Amino acid sequence: MSEPLASGKNEPHTREDLGLETPCLVIDSSVVDANISAMADAVSRLGVTLRPHAKTHKLPQMAAQQLDAGAAGITVAKISEAEVMASSGIRDIFVAYPLVAWSKLERAARLSRSGVRLIIGVDSIEGAHRISEVAVREGVVLEVRLELETGLRRTGVILEHAVQLAGQIHALDGIKLSGIFTYRGAMLGGAATLNLKAAGHEEGRLMASAAAALRSAGIPIQDVSVGSSPTARFAAEIEGITEVRPGTYIYQDRMQAAFGLCALEDCAGVVLATVISRPSGDLIVIDGGSKTFATDVQPGNPPLFLKGFGHILGDPDAVLERMNEEHGMIRIQPDAQYKVGDVIRIIPNHICSTVNLHSFVYISDSSGQLVKTPVAARGMLE
């Protein structure tokens, strides 16, 4: 059940009058609204379809808001996430992940049969044969997109083999091969980069070229889907790209701010944590550790070279430099005015993985109240 709570602004320190127990994650809905509108407007001007990735918010209500702003559908990574979204009325879902387990393909077939436009990823002939077998057995046609590997060295068929594999998949019963997709992130020439425009353009050109090769071979694909929050707007500038799938933009985070994609004021998600100890003049300890803040974006790594695991609002000199499960150790200036019991606000490095650590978020509503909201698709691993 959602619970309204008294709200407050994003001051660096806050009195203990919000009715919140820390650590917790607070989402500013007015910032969310602005972020959704900005991306929708930018993509619309380029004539490209927007299909946001729900991995960031994991909330059907946020997905619905993105759809209301013009998104054509949503993206997820797991069939369980697709089921959560479909149960709340989302009817156009892309599982941007290769489904190969029989049980997951059977669940995909059931969702498709229920009237959801479900698209699933594939990157191998073995996976395609499994999709075909389940589709024929269940009496459905499953729509698929072929994933291409464009430099991240993750899933995806390498570009030189894409035409051959696409032709084999196109010939299988029970399958409709409707497009291709990739995920690349901020990479240029095989390395991480801060030159997001060049990275997006390179990504777009690789995919547009691959699409042209498939069509020349007689494979009638329609969708050419790319993008991450850092590169989506730039990749969309390349002729032949039909769809982008940014996710983080809805909340933004410290990483996106470091890329220059937003200001810290555009970050909708802030972790509230309480100072539980000040064992020395240059150290405070908070009640949020690795069970509260994502650790997948490590400090000091290229190309961003972030300091610490989050930005402490109001104190740019403070560094969240170490964490255990329940403790966060923040290095501070000796004259910093922190005391035990203070509640501080921290923008995490990576909001997507941070959200997944929290069973609830607190979302501000139009009246300024905070509504305790279960993260519906949290922890959906299968």
Output the CA torsion sign for 105, 96, 148, 56. negative
Q: What pLDDT is recorded for position 18?
A: 62
pTM over 0.85: yes
pLDDT, tens digit, 9 for 90 and up, residues 332-353: 999 999 999 999 999 999 999 9
pLDDT, tens digit, 9 for 90 and up, residues 258-315: 999 999 999 999 999 999 999 999 999 999 999 999 999 999 999 999 999 999 999 9
Q: What pLDDT is recorded for position 14?
A: 47
Helix axes 196-216 and 162-170, enclosed angle (nearest 10): 50
Q: What pLDDT is recorded for position 284?
A: 98
Q: Same topology for domains 4-28+255-374 and 91-246, yes or no?
A: no
* CATH level 3 topology of 4-28+255-374: Lyase, Ornithine Decarboxylase; Chain A, domain 1 (2.40.37)
Q: What pLDDT is recorded for position 5?
A: 44
Average per-residue pLDDT for the chain: 94
The 3-class SS string of the chain reads CCCEECCCCCCCEECCCCCCCCCEEEECHHHHHHHHHHHHHHHHHCCCEECCECCCCCCHHHHHHHHHCCCCCEEECCHHHHHHHHHCCCCEEEEEEECCCHHHHHHHHHHHHCCCEEEEEECCHHHHHHHHHHHHHHCCCEEEEEEEECCCCCCCEEHHHHHHHHHHHHCCCCEEEEEEECCCCCEECCEECCCHHHHHHHHHHHHHHHHHHHHHCCCCCCEEEECCCCCHHHHCCCCCCCEECCCHHHCCCHHHHHHCCCCHHHCCEEEEEEEEEEEECCEEEECCCCCCCCCCCCCCCCCCCCCCCEEECCCCCCEEEEECCCCEEEECCCCCCCCCCCEEEEEECCHHHHHCCCCEEEEECCCCCEEEEECCCCCCCC
Q: What pLDDT is recorded for position 10?
A: 38
Name the stretches of the chain with pLDDT < 70. Answer: 1-18
Tokens 């966060």 found at: 328
Domain positions in the chain? 4-28+255-374, 91-246
Q: What pLDDT is recorded for position 9?
A: 42
Please state which architecture CATH assigns to domain 91-246: Alpha-Beta Barrel (3.20)
